Structure 1
Amino acid sequence: MLDFLIKYRGIFVVLFVLPASLIFKAYMGTRNRLVFWLNSAPEKHDDKVKKVQQQVKDWHKITGGNIPMCTARPGWQAMSLKQGNYKKTHYQVDVSLMDILDIDEEKGTVRVEPMANMGQISAMLKPLGLSLAVVPELDALTVGGLINGFGIEASSHKYGLFQHICVSLEIVTADGELVKCSKDENSELYYAIPWSYGSLGFLVCAEIKIVPSKDFVQLRYIPYTSKQAMVDRFTEESLKSFDEAYDFIEGLMYSEQEGVLMLGNFADKVPAGKTRNALNNFWKPWFYEHVRSILKQRQEQEEYIPLRHYYHRHTRSFFWEMEQIIPFGNSPWFRYLLGWMSPPDISLIKLTETEAIHELYDTHHMDQDFLLPISTLDKSLSYFHQQVEFYPLWLCPMRIFDTPIRGMVNPLPNEQIFVDVGIYGEPNVPNYSAKETTRKLEAFMREIGGFHISVPIERRST
């Protein structure tokens, strides 16, 4: 039965989830636009925050503080493919804060509520010639999830993790107090909130750094058939100074020895005779398959990609996890006939999953990021191949900045660049054991001074 459900799951998704996703997205899009245009966000924001504070105070009266709190956002709405079962036993607080509050071009910041997502923010900033300094690939990732959890993108080698572009944060603590923190105000709290998964309070506002942008990204694809050669070039480009470095660096490994390095810069326009690729149009191949086709050609290529298409290049295929949900999703017939309905909403996919599928993700699926010193990248890729043998692997460099409590962020003083290696899919090694492999990978990360990020991107309990 499990094999049957997995084999024909794509048909169910196409027949039921895709149409439902289309209706759901249309409804949510209309609702969000009405909320923004018909309400004064700054004025409403204060009222909504007071409601969060009151709910926390009610929690004290009702439970005596003996039951953990969490957000009331259903677990099926989180971006992770795994279910958040903890919400069933926690006291739920409604934190429905999803607006862009203010854009300060002179100061170079934008104030947003925690449930504002990347697609919403990038669409608002793009006409102004601006973007977040770090813009994760998936449209639906929220500000709260990226700050409390883990957020990284192809510009992180310049600006660091998503938490590093946060100028200030505001949270409602467990006693119902509204606290603002920054590098200069309540600094210990400011540095402790990232990766806390909501355990320190409910995030209600974030002031985030924005930077000038342009209409296109000039992207170079450099194929490699030698892991060592790719690691060497990846390291060289990632370690360059801010002014010398490319605006965007990303790598995809398709086997133990084969991969493609992508180097990008902002561009005003597409020069005559150059290739323009709006790669997020529904009839286009999934991005990672497009990159794979370049690897097969064994020749360096260059193209100009519209900015928002580049920022959200992994959205349609959910990196490469959509292939496991709709195996024929990248087929030309599907893209041209039904691609306009894609991608299915991850929330609705989770809502319609059976217990058998839940068990599959828990026991046979990895959805994890490993942050490791760039000096250990070659060694780490060999270890991942031995323990997991899953491809593609996502390689994304990130810069670590000095902080007053640096040991909480970087235990290796001489390492300024780390690499996120993303493993998203079903390992191919025989007799894979999720528990045993996870423990081995955790031990390996401790050995090399890295980090293992395995908790879903969402706000956890308080």
Structure 2
Amino acid sequence: MDIKKLALDLATRYRAVILVGVGLPVGLAFDTGLRLRAKIYDLLGAAPERHDEKVAEVQAQVRRWAAQPADLRKPMCTDRKTWMNLSTRFEPKHQWHQIRMGNLRDILHVDVDAKTIRVEPFVTVGQATSYLIDRGHMLAVNLEIAEATLGGLAMAVGMTTHSHKVGLLSETVVAYEVVTADGELLRVTADSHPDLYRALPWSHGTLGLLVGLELKIIPVKSHVHMRYEPAHSQADYCARMYELSTMDDAPDFIEATVYSRDQAVIMKGEFADPVTPEQRAKINPIGRWYKPWFYTHVREYLNGEGDEYIPLRHYLLRHNRSIFWVVEHMIPGGNHPLFRALLGWMMPPKIAFLKFSTTPAVRKMTFTMQVFQDITLPMSAMADAVNKSDELFDMYPILLYPCRVYDRGPGSGQLRNPALKDRVLGRDYAMYFDLGVYGVPGPIQRGEQFKTVHAMREMEAFTQSVRGFPFLYADTFMTPKEFEEMFDLTLYRKVRAQYAAQGAFPQLYDKIKPEVDVLAVLDEEDEWDDDWGTRDPSAIGG
């Protein structure tokens, strides 16, 4: 008997049980340790000299790499374990030269007057959120998932429900601190190194090693006054989202959750300090462990308008406990009142543990039986995009976040500038939106034959046709040629040459492509016949 194969088979089949019985308590212990460490460092105060020592060690490692004979040098990457990041893929770091950087995880300084925060790259969203709220501020772009690292978002992309006012996370970066291929430390700003500054977002660590980051922050109040507005036609919610996001006095936060092609709830949030008895009676701490998952709570407002006051910390991480609605497929029954009452305090499953426990069979299933995509498109394409998602995947809910995408002119980075027709009148930006499609496609849930990779490639083709772009943390199904048609690599290649990154760091496509052979899976799907049979979506573990 092959014990290893048997163990993998059991881990695949009973993954939900393992997640509840092992993943939740292990993840909680791990997260508690990180929180305790962050609190101790917070009490001791930031020590810039420790940061300088850590950066000097990174520089020394890079210089030792550069001193090797050319034929022995492998492309460099960080030593962060692939199961620790939030990407769906598993990077082949064993093929690259890993630079030890795991101790760069501390908040260094907050300048309330300048409204900036300086952090090391592995500071998490949750860590920064707690630190800043206690000081009356938040990140200008504050993601909903606590485990996301600020360095990872800066080198990739970040967007949230305040992005209709400030744009993508890269628009809020004041400075990057980067160690280049020759071991030099640069403070990269829009003025000091304009080309590198524009090319670093979406580069995924292929231009240099990020060792520090300075980001914009904004002042806040204690709560968010959330107003829920149901929409019962696609035309209504598409028009309303554009109207709200382009208003001169737009709400502080805007989002919509779509529950069917024509049914959505639009959410409008404003910073608030509830003081009257009537206001305080409407406070709803949605983040407490026993509360329903946020998207299920929002669904109730399809029946009529309503409002409530949500503590800011709870609002910013409102999708964290259920990882939007992905946990529903990992732990069926996780939103049941009894489960929440008994085990909800350990939620969500630690994403790092989910990846760590992913067997090859589970990884293949997540690639072929699940969709996890954030796709950003012009608002002019909102109705067509929802219809395309409905046609291809037949899965709900989906989310809509509006976001500015600025026109920075020629040579502005990997994102192609918005089409002139999509520009907001009199502004230097277009209003785009994030289409969040997460979960198991409807046909698979019904046990029907479904070619997931074919569908994803069709969605990517649609995205390219309307001048949109997918976030690259998720699996990419494009060929290298198709990737270059969607993204503009002109400046990226210029910067790679200018800073000697060629050969020193992996190519962008090699860094973001899935480890699963896309073309082989396409061939498999092409060979399916009518005897395809059924599959069990409960076996999918994220």
Do both proteins adopt the same fold according to a TM-score greater than 0.5, normalized to the shorter chain? yes
User: Which residue of the partner structure matches residue 92 of structure 1?
Assistant: 98
**Mean CA deviation greater in 152-161 or 3-12:** 3-12
User: Which residue of the partner structure matches residue 248 of structure 1?
Assistant: 253
User: Residue 443 of structure 1: CA displacement?
Assistant: 1.4
User: Residue 390 of structure 1: CA displacement?
Assistant: 1.8
1:400-421, Cα deviation, whole Å (9 max, x unpaired): 2232434743241342100110
2:434 is aligned with 1:420: yes
User: Which residue of the partner structure matches residue 39 of structure 2?
Assistant: 33
User: Residue 38 of structure 1: CA displacement?
Assistant: 4.6
User: Which residue of the partner structure matches residue 238 of structure 1?
Assistant: 245
Which residue identity lines up with residue 340 of structure 1 in the other structure?
A: W
Match of 2:465 among 447, 450, 457: 447
Structure 2 distance, partners of 1:179, 1:41, is: 20
User: Which residue of the partner structure matches residue 449 of structure 2?
Assistant: 431
**Mean CA deviation greater in 318-327 or 396-405:** 396-405
1:8-45, Cα deviation, whole Å (9 max, x unpaired): 42222111111111221222222333344457531111
User: Residue 152 of structure 1: CA displacement?
Assistant: 0.5
1:160-214, Cα deviation, whole Å (9 max, x unpaired): 0111111111111122111111111101110110011111111111111111100
2:148 is aligned with 1:141: yes
Which residue identity lines up with residue 161 of structure 1 in the other structure?
A: L
Change beyond 3 A, Cα 1:365–1:461: farther
Where structure 1 has 5 or more consecutive residues not aligned to the other structure, the ranges are none
Matches within 5 A, 1:47-446: 47-62=53-68, 64=70, 66-80=73-87, 82-96=88-102, 97-241=104-248, 244-274=249-279, 275-295=282-302, 298-404=303-409, 405-406=411-412, 408-409=414-415, 410-415=417-422, 416-429=430-443, 430-446=448-464
Structure 1 contact 83–350 (Cα < 8 Å) conserved: no
Q: Secondary structure at the match of 2:420?
A: coil
Structure 2 distance, partners of 1:99, 1:4, is: 39
1:365-399, Cα deviation, whole Å (9 max, x unpaired): 22211111101111111111111222111100101
User: Residue 438 of structure 1: CA displacement?
Assistant: 2.4
Identical aligned pairs, as a percentage?
A: 39
Which residue identity lines up with residue 94 of structure 1 in the other structure?
A: R
* Count of residues paired in the alignment: 455
Which residue identity lines up with residue 463 of structure 2 in the other structure?
A: M
1:214-234, Cα deviation, whole Å (9 max, x unpaired): 000000111122111111111
Match of 2:24 among 11, 18, 21: 18
Change beyond 3 A, Cα 1:3–1:154: farther
Structure 1 distance, partners of 2:74, 2:275, is: 57
Structure 1 distance, partners of 2:57, 2:401, is: 39
Structure 1 contact 41–100 (Cα < 8 Å) conserved: no
Change beyond 3 A, Cα 1:375–1:40: closer
Q: Secondary structure at the match of 2:161?
A: coil
Where structure 2 has 5 or more consecutive residues not aligned to the other structure, the ranges are 1-5, 423-429, 476-504, 508-542
User: Which residue of the partner structure matches residue 49 of structure 2?
Assistant: 43
Change beyond 3 A, Cα 1:337–1:174: same
Change beyond 3 A, Cα 1:322–1:32: same
Structure 1 distance, partners of 2:373, 2:69, is: 35
Change beyond 3 A, Cα 1:276–1:36: closer
Change beyond 3 A, Cα 1:434–1:58: farther
Give 1 or 2 for the bigger CA radius of gyration: 2
Structure 2 contact 199–412 (Cα < 8 Å) conserved: no
Which residue identity lines up with residue 437 of structure 1 in the other structure?
A: A
Q: Secondary structure at the match of 1:338?
A: helix
Which residue identity lines up with residue 354 of structure 2 in the other structure?
A: I
User: Residue 3 of structure 1: CA displacement?
Assistant: 9.9
Which residue identity lines up with residue 238 of structure 1 in the other structure?
A: S
Structure 2 distance, partners of 1:137, 1:455, is: 15
Structure 1 contact 197–461 (Cα < 8 Å) conserved: no
1:78-131, Cα deviation, whole Å (9 max, x unpaired): 123x34231121111112211111111111111111111111111111122111
Structure 2 distance, partners of 1:164, 1:413, is: 20
1:212-267, Cα deviation, whole Å (9 max, x unpaired): 100000001111221111111111111212xx100000011111111111001000
Structure 1 distance, partners of 2:57, 2:420, is: 43
Structure 1 distance, partners of 2:365, 2:146, is: 26
**Mean CA deviation greater in 26-35 or 101-110:** 26-35
Which residue identity lines up with residue 20 of structure 1 in the other structure?
A: V
Structure 2 distance, partners of 1:288, 1:225, is: 17
Structure 2 contact 147–351 (Cα < 8 Å) conserved: no
Structure 2 contact 407–418 (Cα < 8 Å) conserved: no
Which residue identity lines up with residue 54 of structure 2 in the other structure?
A: K
Which residue identity lines up with residue 394 of structure 2 in the other structure?
A: E
Q: Secondary structure at the match of 1:79?
A: coil
Which residue identity lines up with residue 15 of structure 1 in the other structure?
A: G
Change beyond 3 A, Cα 1:129–1:407: closer
Structure 2 distance, partners of 1:450, 1:126, is: 33
Change beyond 3 A, Cα 1:142–1:371: same
Change beyond 3 A, Cα 1:355–1:340: same
1:325-380, Cα deviation, whole Å (9 max, x unpaired): 11111000010011111112111122122221111112112221111110111111
